[in-house]
Structure 1
Amino acid sequence: MPIWKRNLIVCWFGMFVTGVGMSQLAPILPLYIKQLGVHNANSIAQYSGIAFGITFIISAIFSPIWGMAADKYGRKPMLLRASLGMAVVVGSMGFAHNVYVLIGLRMLQGAITGYSTACTTLIATQTDQEHAGLALGTLSTANIAGSLLGPTIGGYVAENFGIQHSFFITGALLLIAFITTVFLVKENFVREHKKTLSIKEVWSIVPEKSLTLTLFVTFFVLTVALYSVEPIITVYITQLSRNTSHVALLAGFVFSASGLANIIAAPRLGKLSDKIGAQKVILVALIAAGLIFIPQAFVRNPWELMGLRFLFGLAAAGLIPSVNILIKKITPSSLTGRVFGFNMSAGYLGTFAGSVLGGQVAAWFGIHYVFLITSALLLLNAIWVYFKVYTKLNIHELALNNK
């Protein structure tokens, strides 16, 4: 088996488990906080929001730092650090004695993360150009699938085995990711910059600043769109469903439909990006995703919503691999880890912002407006991408073809 394929398999598993570890707390958090001794409903809601969101905020801060370390020391050491660290921290959450210990461990989880950044950089730099789209497309499904399926997995394990076992099982899987990384991941790392550059110095030598910034914003908007429905999906299913006995199960299926579609479509769309140009796939995917959000506000039953969420997952699957392909294409290899770190920070901030946006819009204007406002964000991003990415790269390709 080629080294890039073996690296891809190990990284996919690790990123999937990391995604589960970051998000699996969502459905069980209020129950666990109550179990830890907090009984006031308002306090439970307050602590739940802090405990869930703090991980993503801290991750956004530390992701560029670990990206810099990956460029300096190699990507495999960062994979080992993150997987072992998260295995210990996530497993320890099952032994938390009070809510403050839990919040502290969630903060530590955010600080030691960086597995996804290191994986993306490793695959981008160690895979040949011919297979880059397929590899990055396949890899992009891991974190999204883990993040979207995480709440369902966490809820199932908690209901059948106990809340603490959600942490123990995830910690054990992360430990397996660490062990497989030790023995199976191979990296030919040569450090190009001897001097450690500051964030300002890194940005000053990024060759395509405007294009890079547009890609960061696109990744941010995509994660906002993926997670804007998370706070309201259960309530929306309750309104749509006549049989309230299976609301939690239906909500899990609806939320996970996007993840399933992403797993199916992302490798294919990543490969398509290599053939026709990533900028074309990004533009079409943004327009399609934005349009698919509109009818979600007007569905009549959970099954229609599930179908539309699946279609949204197919459209969104074209965005992450295409963004990563373009970042790899326009970024010097010596800066790849740091630039991917910035991009991952945008994703973490989008996850947090999407959850906050969905809850606040639903509270102030109604659930239907969550879908309509998210649609507007995607379509506005598509307009920006058309002028800043699509047009610019198409002109560049035409110039190359005419030479």
Structure 2
Amino acid sequence: MSGTISWQRNLYALTAASFLMFTAFGFVFPFLPLFIGTLGVGDVGQVEVWAGVSSFGQALILSLCSPIWGAYADRHGRRLMVLRAAFGGGVVIGLMGLTTNIWEFLGLRLLQGAFTGVVAAVTALATSFVPRERIGYALGILQMTTFAGNAVGPLLGGLVADRFGFRAGFGVTAILFLSAGVLTLAFVKENFVPPQDARASAGLRGMLRDIRARGADRQLLAMMLVLFSAQFGVNVVQPMLPLFVQYLDPTQTAATATGAIFTVAGVVASISAVVWGRVGDKFGYRRLLIGMALGAALVYIPQALVTSVLQLIILRGVLGIFDGGLLPSANAFIASSTSRKGDSSSHGTTYGLVNLANGMGFALGPLSGGLIAASLGLRSVFFVTAAILLVIAAYLPFGIREPGRNQGSSGAPN
């Protein structure tokens, strides 16, 4: 990159592509339990379990593939990984709309895990060209697209599902993913210089060696534990929301009501993500992370006690204030630590490992949530998530150190 304008233009183009992909996710994935119910798996209890199993399988494959994709990106370019996620996701998710039984659907969910990984790909690319002192701002902008997409996608996806059926949503999702790939190909630039050391030419063995070396960083391991726990807790609840809406009010059109819940939370979180990103750049990411975990925990508790869909919508909106700062502050903390240690050439490997932790949380959270809901009731999942976030908030002051700030810029060219 040459000059401030270049990295900003790059960031805005990447932001637009990211928004398209997360809007695409929102079109179908909040309603997967309802779609699974149309595949003839049995009663509501069976739907809960199969929804957890499908999310577990997809996230497990995603987590296992992420470090390898990350190490590959450090050798061949991070933009290539965004293209892989966009075009691969478009094809695989489009095919999901053609499935006729649960086994076909599960097979494609596994392929989705192998080929998507949008968050890690976008984050690794952005942190490679954004100046270090603007990382919090940049990741806040990108996180805004996650929440904005999660706001727009479920609202439109719910309307499409209720009017045209769930399968139509998969077609729209495929188009949006492919459009994001074209946008990235045309407008996102990368001045990538392949590493010259001997290990870089050692193929898969060299990539695995780099993964092991990066994974030995205690600070990174601590943050991976935090992110795993946070994603596990959040995803105990997330897949159960459509079923909880049906439980609260069986007369509601479940897809539309669920879409409204995601929309309200997404709008609030997308605004707060940018604000919290600037706060983290100024006052430190660890403090922000502690506050976000504690605040989110306290908002999950009353969600277990709601008696109407409207109450749930309001509380999910309040939760968005804290959700908007949780992941950006964690990712900015990791990026700042990586740059400070001179490991800026390992952004792909770093966020591949981070996505391993995230993916395991995504894998085990829905599976556990389905089993907890089936055995203890839907309300219990909110208490479980609140407890996990409280433990995180208590661990952070002692488990991680704030990286030094204002000690130079990103290792990437500006």
From 21, 24, 27, the counterpart of 2:31: 27
Residue in 2 that maps onto 1:93: 96
Q: Structure 1 CA distance, aligned partners of 2:74 and 2:177?
A: 23
Q: CA deviation at 1:217?
A: 2.1
Residue in 2 that maps onto 1:173: 176
Contact 1:289 1:315 in 2 (8 A): yes
Q: Structure 2 CA distance, aligned partners of 1:318 and 1:149?
A: 19
Letter of the 1:344 counterpart = N
**CA, structure 1 residues 89+211, in 2 after alignment: closer, same or farther (shift >3 Å)?**
same
Residue in 2 that maps onto 1:315: 322
Sequence identity percentage? 31
From 292, 295, 312, the counterpart of 1:288: 295
From 381, 388, 393, the counterpart of 2:392: 381
Q: Structure 2 CA distance, aligned partners of 1:39 and 1:204?
A: 44
Residue in 1 that maps onto 2:402: 393
**CA, structure 1 residues 144+216, in 2 after alignment: closer, same or farther (shift >3 Å)?**
farther
Contact 1:215 1:323 in 2 (8 A): yes
Q: CA deviation at 1:327?
A: 1.0
The more displaced of 249-258 and 308-317 is 249-258
Q: Structure 1 CA distance, aligned partners of 2:152 and 2:136?
A: 24
From 213, 225, 238, the counterpart of 1:217: 225
From 190, 195, 198, the counterpart of 1:187: 190
**CA, structure 1 residues 124+382, in 2 after alignment: closer, same or farther (shift >3 Å)?**
same
Residue in 2 that maps onto 1:352: 363
Cα offsets for 1:181-230 (capped at 9, x unmatched)? 111001111233532334454343567x2221221122223323333223
Q: Structure 2 CA distance, aligned partners of 1:352 and 1:30?
A: 19
Residue in 2 that maps onto 1:134: 137
Show the 5 A alignment for 1:2-401: 2-22=5-25, 24-28=28-32, 30-31=34-35, 34=38, 38=40, 40-41=42-43, 48-96=51-99, 98-146=101-149, 150-192=153-195, 194=197, 195-196=199-200, 197-205=206-214, 209-241=217-249, 244-331=251-338, 332-389=343-400, 392-393=401-402
Q: Structure 2 CA distance, aligned partners of 1:360 and 1:39?
A: 16
Contact 2:30 2:258 in 1 (8 A): no
Q: CA deviation at 1:22?
A: 4.8
**CA, structure 1 residues 334+301, in 2 after alignment: closer, same or farther (shift >3 Å)?**
same
Q: Structure 1 CA distance, aligned partners of 2:270 and 2:288?
A: 17
Residue in 1 that maps onto 2:203: none
Segments of 5+ residues of structure 2 without an aligned counterpart are 201-205, 406-414
Cα offsets for 1:313-358 (capped at 9, x unmatched)? 1112212111111111222112111111111222222223222233
SS in 2 for 1:317: helix
Cα offsets for 1:17-48 (capped at 9, x unmatched)? 4345556245256546746xx46548766655
Q: CA deviation at 1:265?
A: 0.4
Q: Structure 2 CA distance, aligned partners of 1:29 and 1:236?
A: 11
Q: CA deviation at 1:238?
A: 4.5
Letter of the 1:298 counterpart = L
Q: Structure 1 CA distance, aligned partners of 2:344 and 2:147?
A: 25
Contact 1:216 1:343 in 2 (8 A): yes
Aligned length: 390
The more displaced of 252-261 and 373-382 is 252-261
Q: CA deviation at 1:300?
A: 3.9
Q: CA deviation at 1:284?
A: 1.1
**CA, structure 1 residues 325+229, in 2 after alignment: closer, same or farther (shift >3 Å)?**
same
**CA, structure 1 residues 236+135, in 2 after alignment: closer, same or farther (shift >3 Å)?**
same
Contact 1:228 1:355 in 2 (8 A): yes
Contact 1:25 1:154 in 2 (8 A): no
Q: Which has the higher contact order (CA 8 A, sep 6+)?
A: 2
Q: CA deviation at 1:142?
A: 2.8
Q: Structure 1 CA distance, aligned partners of 2:159 and 2:67?
A: 34
Letter of the 1:27 counterpart = F
SS in 2 for 1:393: coil
Segments of 5+ residues of structure 1 without an aligned counterpart are 398-403
Cα offsets for 1:72-129 (capped at 9, x unmatched)? 1011122222212222222233334554433322222211123322211111110113
Contact 1:17 1:174 in 2 (8 A): yes
**CA, structure 1 residues 102+147, in 2 after alignment: closer, same or farther (shift >3 Å)?**
same
The more displaced of 81-90 and 24-33 is 24-33
**CA, structure 1 residues 53+20, in 2 after alignment: closer, same or farther (shift >3 Å)?**
farther
Contact 1:25 1:52 in 2 (8 A): no
Contact 2:210 2:349 in 1 (8 A): no
Q: CA RMSD in A?
A: 2.9
Length-normalised TM-score, structure 2: 0.84
Contact 1:22 1:147 in 2 (8 A): yes
Q: Structure 1 CA distance, aligned partners of 2:380 and 2:35?
A: 29
The more displaced of 121-130 and 352-361 is 352-361
Q: Structure 2 CA distance, aligned partners of 1:107 and 1:375?
A: 29
The more displaced of 50-59 and 275-284 is 50-59
